[in-house]
Amino acid sequence: MALGENLSRLRRDKGWNQEKLANLAGISLGQVSKIERNKDKPKLDTIYSLINALECTPNALLNDVTETSTNGRLEMALERLVELPEDEREALINIIDKYCLAVAYQKIGESNPVSFFNFGQLRGKTQELSKKG
């Protein structure tokens, strides 16, 4: 079951220890520990308390990454990324944007190597994702 691993990861992402999560969720420290070790199957109201305390979606807490599609895992990763500081989010947006550009240029180059060089000046970023244009 993924609940324990997800709970532990989400808690660590916030920089919290088990005691802080227990206090915020209104449950016992022992119960948090048992859930993280997959030794307890929490009731629905406990799950809601954890979701509210962690300010996460049910998917982030309950999805098993080994059973989740790539799109589902991407959604979970993006939910974690929004918690990062602004400058780190911007850096990741730039990395993703450049990766997508590289893949697109590779596809263009593979399909028609001669016309690939007729693009003119390649600026290395897309207007859609660039804050500065």
**Residue-range definition of the domain harbouring residue 119:** 84-133
Q: Does residue 21 form part of some domain?
A: yes
pLDDT value at residue 121 = 46
Angle at Cα 65 formed by Cα 10 and Cα 61, nearest 5°? 35
93 found inside a domain: yes
With contact defined as beta carbons under 8 Å apart, do 50 and 7 qualify? yes
Whether residues 48 and 9 share a domain: the answer is yes
Residues 8 and 63 in one domain: yes
> What's the pTM value of the predicted model, to 2 decimals?
0.62
Shared domain check, 128 and 95:
yes
2 vs 88, residue with greater confidence: 88
Residues of the chain with pLDDT > 70, as a percent, come to 83
Would you state the pLDDT for residue 114?
55
- Per residue in 34-75, pLDDT (tens digit) is 999 999 999 999 999 999 999 998 988 998 878 888 888 888
In a domain, 77, yes or no: no
Q: Is residue 52 part of a domain?
A: yes
Q: Mean pLDDT over all residues of the chain?
A: 85
What are the φ and ψ backbone dihedral angles of 94, each rounded to 5 degrees? -65, -40
User: Looking at the structure, do residues 20 and 62 belong to the same domain, yes or no?
Assistant: yes
